[in-house]
Amino acid sequence: MGRVRVGVLGGTFDPVHVAHLVLADCAREELSLDLVLFIPAGEPWRKSHRAITPAEHRLEMLRLAIEDNDAFGISDIELRREGPTYTADTLEALAGERLDDAFWFIVGADALADLPNWRDPERIVRHARLAATHRDVQDAQAAARQVPQFADRIDFFEAPRLQISSTDIRDRIAANRTVRYLVPAPVLTYINTHDLYRS
């Protein structure tokens, strides 16, 4: 068997929603990935200002969301680590666990443009190519200009731009508004069963 091509999609997934799944599947298809690993964050350093739903709930919602797709998987590598989690550390650890695999770190054009502000961006691209989605060609070119030093490590792919966010979903649930079709049905059942995001 040849080298396994692995996409890596990180996030708090609080909760996971359909835009996450569409993004992952478009990356899988366009970049010929064998597997997309969803990696729920432990203590994301950029979201230290808000409380995050306990890891066991976020992990179970992810499991329910992807259970019907054999090309999707989950790694709890960040949940096993104490303290703030950084992408560079995660990719380095993954590369150490999966020595024969090739990695693509999936990001939006906005995150790509912001990459110089991340911790150790050079170490990120040492362990993975950047799989960047964009709205249009100009969007992609503008993002790439922000990181010229990584230009040869970027692969762009197209995905529908779905205006769905976990923040909006949490707010809608708190306001007793519908989120049906914004999250997979099993995830919605889980949210209701465990009374998440109501307060």
Distance CA 38, CA 20 (A): 9
Mean pLDDT by 10 residues, the chain (199 residues): 89 96 97 98 67 94 98 95 88 92 92 89 95 81 85 92 94 97 98 94
Domain limits, the chain:
5-161
Torsion of CA 187, 192, 194, 197, to 10 degrees: 90
Distance CA 61, CA 59 (A): 6
pLDDT of residue 72: 98
pLDDT of residue 47: 53
Q: Nearest-CA neighbor of 40 among 55, 22, 23?
A: 55
pLDDT of residue 1: 56
Distance CA 146, CA 151 (A): 10
The single residue listed with the structure tokens 């303290």 is 83
Distance CA 142, CA 138 (A): 6
pLDDT of residue 45: 58
pLDDT of residue 69: 98
Which CATH architecture best describes the domain 5-161? Answer: 3-Layer(aba) Sandwich (3.40)
Amino acid at 133: T
Q: How far apart are the first and last CA of the chain?
A: 50
10 Å CB burial of residue 97 (0-12, 13-18, 19+) is exposed
